[in-house]
Amino acid sequence: MYHTRCDIARHIRDMPIMPIMKKRLFLAFTLPETLTEQFSLYQQKLAKFEELKKLGLRLTAKENLHITLLFLGDCEEDKIGQISGTVKKACQEIAPFPLEFSRMEMHRYIWAVYKNSASFEKLKNILEVELLGTISKKSIIHTTLGRIKREGGKIGLPPAGTVDREFTCGKILLFESHLRNNGPVYSIIEAFNLNGK
């Protein structure tokens, strides 16, 4: 039993502070299964490329191939409901839309790059304003196939080969990223269908 206000204040002060639980979140589109397989075959070509081996090539795990729409970073767990509501509202404004593969590109990353999409950009901008309070520069829409640890000048990449050129983006996924020593592991928190007209 506490006898004075000071006793109560001291008890409150000495109570352990519970850490705020945060999750590392991002919004993304997954790829059609056939395109995932085609990119995985291309990654196997890259893995045999001696020039890339010397630069410390690290390939993205096949199950992690995706197209990032918006990286949200470390978010408080109790904000996920608010994020979900914002994404659902944005989905009412955008209809499913096509994306078209353009080329392979390399700098510090190896990207499968897609052609510009007005629908992708509009959706990203809506979500940026509502969730981050800002609009970033225009996106280079891409899937990261691998990362390069060391700079090594320009290296010609092998041709892409057979790749499905176009597919439809119709569902946004909210992912949590769990960082591990051997690479990130992604888990799906929620899925949202694009249902605009």
Q: Which residues are catalytic?
A: 66, 142
What would you measure as the largest C-alpha separation in the chain, in angstroms?
79
Question: From CA 121, how far away is CA 188, in angstroms rounded?
Answer: 23
Question: From CA 187, how far away is CA 39, in angstroms rounded?
Answer: 21
Residue 158 structure tokens: 């092998």
User: What φ, ψ does residue 134 adopt, rounded to 5°?
Assistant: -155, 170
Question: From CA 18, how far away is CA 73, in angstroms rounded?
Answer: 21
